[in-house]
Structure 1
Amino acid sequence: MNHNQLAAKEETIVEEAEKATNELELKYKELELKEKSEFLNFRKQWSSYLLILVVFLTIFYAFFLWAIGAGWITIKDEWTLRIIIVSGFGQILALAKIVVDFLFKKK
């Protein structure tokens, strides 16, 4: 082979390598976008579940307090009632914090 043929072959190899590199970069970006899309769908699904849970807990504790006020439920020990109310409020706040931390992560 002469010098011109070697140079042409080398140029062809370099072009093919650049083309392969570009294709790999494109596929990598597509995979990144797909992964982000799936993660956002996952976040949306779980945030819906957690929102339903927070709403359920809020309604449950509101009904519970209403039932105590109406006299349907009688709790003789004052501290038991305080513990139930504070723990319920704590659960709701903890779930809200989990949702906020999960949905609005700082990178």
Structure 2
Amino acid sequence: MQFFEDGYLPTINTTFSFFGGHAETVEPGWRWPTEHHPAFEIMYIMDGAQRTVTESAEKIIKAGEMMIIPIGMEHTNYCWGNESMTFLPCISILTAQQSNICW
């Protein structure tokens, strides 16, 4: 993309609408069935670690880290390791408008 090569990024006005968020603590061995959403899922790990398997990748995220799962992407989440995990999943509608793009 041209603006990355020139060292410029576009100005992006963004609005997030969150729904369905809740904090939950689960024990080792926990697994959520494979699912997908009509919106982004933002997963924040508060304590412990989570293994997330998607259609194209596998990732371990730890306390203090977050992951954004794209719209419609199938994924399965697991409590990773021998400790409980506390996580905060939120489903989000993202609306973005680009303006003032610097080329």
Same structural fold, with TM-score higher than 0.5 when normalized by the shorter chain = no
More helix by share: 1
Give the number of the structure whose residues are more often strand, by fraction: 2
Q: Which has the larger radius of gyration?
A: 1
Larger RCO (CA within 8 A; separation ≥ 6): 2
TM range (shorter): under 0.3
